[in-house]
Chain A
Amino acid sequence: MTASEVRQIVVDIISDIAPDEDTSGLDDAKSLREQLDLDSMDFLDIVMELRKRHKVEVPQEDYPRLASLASCVEYLSPKFA
C-alpha cells in the first residue's frame, strides 16, 4: 500500500469520527490536535477503527505515533505492507 493510500485510510477514519471537521486541508507535518477538535477518546476511536476495518493493531505505547498525519503514515505503512 502506498503512503498516500495509508494517509487516506487515516483521513477517512478521522472524517467518520469527527464528521463536523474539515479534513481537506490538513498539514501532514502538524499535530492533528492542533488542527482538529480531537481529544484522547477520539484517538482511541482511531485505534479501534484501524483494528476493526484493517485488522491493524496499535499497542498503547505507540499511541503517540499517531500525533500527525506524517507520523501516522510513517508508523502505519509497515503494518499495511
Chain B
Amino acid sequence: MNDTQRIVITGIGLTAPNGNSLPEFRENLLNCVSGVAHHEIRYMGKQVAGMCNFDEYKYQSKKLRRRGTRAGSISIYCANEAIADAGIEWTNIDKSQVGVYLGITEHGNVETEEEIFQMHQNNLDYKLWSPHHNPRTVANSPAGEVTLNLNITGPHYTLGSACAGGNVGIIQGVQQLLLGEVDLALAGGISESSQTFGIFAAFAAQGALAHHDDPTKASRPLDKNRNGIAISEGGAVYVLERLSDAKKRSAKIYGEIIGYAINSDATDFVNPNSERQVQCMHKAIKRAGLTVSDIDLVNMHATGTGTGDVNETNAVRTAFSDSKSTYVNFTKGHIGHCMGAAGALELAGNLPSFTDGIIHPGMNCTDLDPECALPNLVVNEPKLVGNVNTILNNSFGMLGINSALIIKKIPSLRRTHT
C-alpha cells in the first residue's frame, strides 16, 4: 500500500490516574500500581474513583483554566504532550491542515451540576448562572479548547460515543487523514467523568458502582468478587500522520493503524451484545487484511461489571476460537474506567509491548470468575512473550456502541522506547 494511505502514530500525550506520561503509565501498569483511591464525591461522600494529578498550568494560564473546563484542561495537557512527544515543529506545519478529534462519553455534566449547586446555595438566584456555561458545555468544547490553546485553525469536534470514545476519536483521525481533509490529526479520547456526582449516582442506582475497603482493589475485572465500575477521568491524545509524512521528518513511530471497526448492538440501552462485539472485532481484523491468529494481543474493555465482563469474555472466546496464540489483557483494574478516554489510554498502555515484548497484566483478578476464563489471559503478573506485532484494542459503550482498533508494529522504522 502507498505510504500516503498508511496512517501511523508518532506522538502520545496522556494523563491517567496512575501516570502523566507514557513511560510513567507503562511502568505502573507493569508493576500493578493502582491509580484508584477514595475521594469525596458531592452529596455521596467517600467513593472509589480515579483522579489525575497532572499539572493543569503546564500549558494553560490560570485564567483560561478557570474560564474553561476540566475536560478542556485534560485535552490541552494531552495534546501538548503529544505534540512535544512527536517532535512537531510548528514552523513546518500549516495549522489550517491540523484537525482535532476527541472522543467523549459525555460533556457538560460537571459544569451543569456546579451551576445548579451554586444556584441552590444562593436562594435559586438564576442571575448567578455563569455566562461561561454555554461555551463550557457545547459538545465541541474540549476539542475547541485545544485549538484555542494551540492556535490550530483546522477542523475540531468531539465524537460522542460513550465509552468507545477513545477508539472512535482515533478512527475519526485516521479517516480524515485518508480523506485528505487534514495533514496531521490530534486524535484520541478524554473524560472528566469522575468530577461529576451524577455518573456515580447513576451507576450506584444500577448496582454497578465499585466499592471496596481498599480502593486499589475496587476495580477487579473478570474477578469472581467484582462489584462494578470504578469511575475515573483521564485522557490520551495521539499525533497521527500519513506514513509518507512521518518518514519525511524521520519521526519515531509507535505503530500503524491497520484496521478498525465500529458497529451497534441495536438491542439494549446498557446491556452489551456478544454477537455484535464478535462482528465488530472480525470486521476490524478483515479490514486489516489479517486472520484472528495474526492478532498477538487483545485489550479487553472489561469494566468490572457482572454482565459486561461475561458478555465480552464470551465475545473474545468466540472471536478468537481459531487462534491458539492470541494473548488477552485488560487495563481497568489499574486505573478504573476512564470512560471516553478508556480506549485511547488503554491502547497507549499496551503499545510499548511492541518494543519490550512484555504484556502488562490485568490487575486485581485474584480469583478468576470461571465464566470469564480465557486461554492466554494475562493477569496479576506481567508476561514476557518476546514478540508482539499486532494489538486489537476493544472499547464498548452504552446504547450498544462497539469499537475495535488494530495497531501493527512497523519493525523497520525508528520506534520509541519507554
List A residues at the B interface (Cβ < 8 Å). Answer: 17-21, 37, 41, 44-45, 48, 51-52
Classify chain B: how many residues form its interface, as a range. Answer: 10 to 19
Contact, CB under 8 Å: A52 / B67: no
What is the minimal beta-carbon distance from B285 to any residue of chain A, in angstroms? 50
| B266 partner residues in chain A, CB cutoff 8 A | none
Q: Give 16 A-B pairs besides A19-B63, A41-B67, A45-B132 with Cβ atoms closer than 8 angstroms.
A: A17-B63, A19-B62, A19-B66, A20-B61, A20-B62, A20-B63, A37-B63, A41-B131, A41-B132, A44-B131, A45-B131, A48-B128, A48-B131, A51-B128, A52-B118, A52-B128
Bound together, the chains give a CA A47 to CA B63 distance in angstroms of: 17
| A52 partner residues in chain B, CB cutoff 8 A | 118, 122, 128
| B62 partner residues in chain A, CB cutoff 8 A | 19-20
Contact, CB under 8 Å: A48 / B130: yes
- Is B248 interfacial (CB 8 A cutoff)? no
| B249 partner residues in chain A, CB cutoff 8 A | none
Could you show 22 A-B contacts with beta carbons less than 8 Å apart?
A17-B63, A17-B66, A18-B63, A19-B62, A19-B66, A20-B61, A20-B62, A20-B63, A21-B63, A37-B63, A41-B131, A41-B132, A44-B131, A45-B131, A45-B132, A48-B128, A48-B130, A48-B131, A51-B127, A51-B128, A52-B118, A52-B128
Bound together, the chains give a CA A20 to CA B63 distance in angstroms of: 6
List of 5 A-B pairs having minimum Cβ-Cβ separation, nearest first: A19-B62, A44-B131, A20-B61, A18-B63, A20-B62
What is the minimal beta-carbon distance from B325 to any residue of chain A, in angstroms? 55
How many Cβ-Cβ contacts under 8 Å join chain A to chain B?
26
Interface residues of B in 108-134 (CB under 8 A from A): 118, 122, 125, 127-128, 130-132
Bound together, the chains give a CA A8 to CA B66 distance in angstroms of: 21
Q: Secondary structure of the A side of the interface?
A: helix
| B125 partner residues in chain A, CB cutoff 8 A | 51
| A44 partner residues in chain B, CB cutoff 8 A | 131
| B128 partner residues in chain A, CB cutoff 8 A | 48, 51-52
Bound together, the chains give a CA A52 to CA B120 distance in angstroms of: 12
What is the minimal beta-carbon distance from B267 to any residue of chain A, in angstroms? 45
Quick one: closest B residue to A52, CB to CB? B128
Contact with A along B126-165 (1 / 0, CB 8 A): 0110111000000000000000000000000000000000
Interface residues of B in 253-304 (CB under 8 A from A): none
Quick one: closest A residue to B135, CB to CB? A41
What is the minimal beta-carbon distance from A22 to any residue of chain B, in angstroms? 13
| A41 partner residues in chain B, CB cutoff 8 A | 67, 131-132
| B127 partner residues in chain A, CB cutoff 8 A | 51
Quick one: closest A residue to B62, CB to CB? A19
Quick one: closest B residue to A18, CB to CB? B63
Bound together, the chains give a CA A41 to CA B135 distance in angstroms of: 11
What is the minimal beta-carbon distance from B118 to any residue of chain A, in angstroms? 8
| A19 partner residues in chain B, CB cutoff 8 A | 62-63, 66
What is the minimal beta-carbon distance from A72 to any residue of chain B, in angstroms? 19
| B63 partner residues in chain A, CB cutoff 8 A | 17-21, 37
What is the minimal beta-carbon distance from A41 to any residue of chain B, in angstroms? 6
| B66 partner residues in chain A, CB cutoff 8 A | 17, 19
Bound together, the chains give a CA A21 to CA B64 distance in angstroms of: 12
What is the minimal beta-carbon distance from A56 to any residue of chain B, in angstroms? 12
| A37 partner residues in chain B, CB cutoff 8 A | 63
Bound together, the chains give a CA A37 to CA B127 distance in angstroms of: 25
Quick one: closest A residue to B128, CB to CB? A52
| B131 partner residues in chain A, CB cutoff 8 A | 41, 44-45, 48
| A18 partner residues in chain B, CB cutoff 8 A | 63
Bound together, the chains give a CA A45 to CA B128 distance in angstroms of: 10
| B132 partner residues in chain A, CB cutoff 8 A | 41, 45
Bound together, the chains give a CA A21 to CA B62 distance in angstroms of: 10
| A51 partner residues in chain B, CB cutoff 8 A | 125, 127-128
What is the minimal beta-carbon distance from A64 to any residue of chain B, in angstroms? 18
What is the minimal beta-carbon distance from B133 to any residue of chain A, in angstroms? 11
What is the minimal beta-carbon distance from A39 to any residue of chain B, in angstroms? 10
Interface residues of B in 35-64 (CB under 8 A from A): 61-63
Bound together, the chains give a CA A44 to CA B67 distance in angstroms of: 12
What is the minimal beta-carbon distance from A31 to any residue of chain B, in angstroms? 18
What is the minimal beta-carbon distance from A23 to any residue of chain B, in angstroms? 12
Bound together, the chains give a CA A41 to CA B132 distance in angstroms of: 8
Bound together, the chains give a CA A18 to CA B63 distance in angstroms of: 5
Bound together, the chains give a CA A37 to CA B61 distance in angstroms of: 12
Bound together, the chains give a CA A19 to CA B118 distance in angstroms of: 21
What is the minimal beta-carbon distance from B205 to any residue of chain A, in angstroms? 32
| B122 partner residues in chain A, CB cutoff 8 A | 52
What is the minimal beta-carbon distance from A63 to any residue of chain B, in angstroms? 12
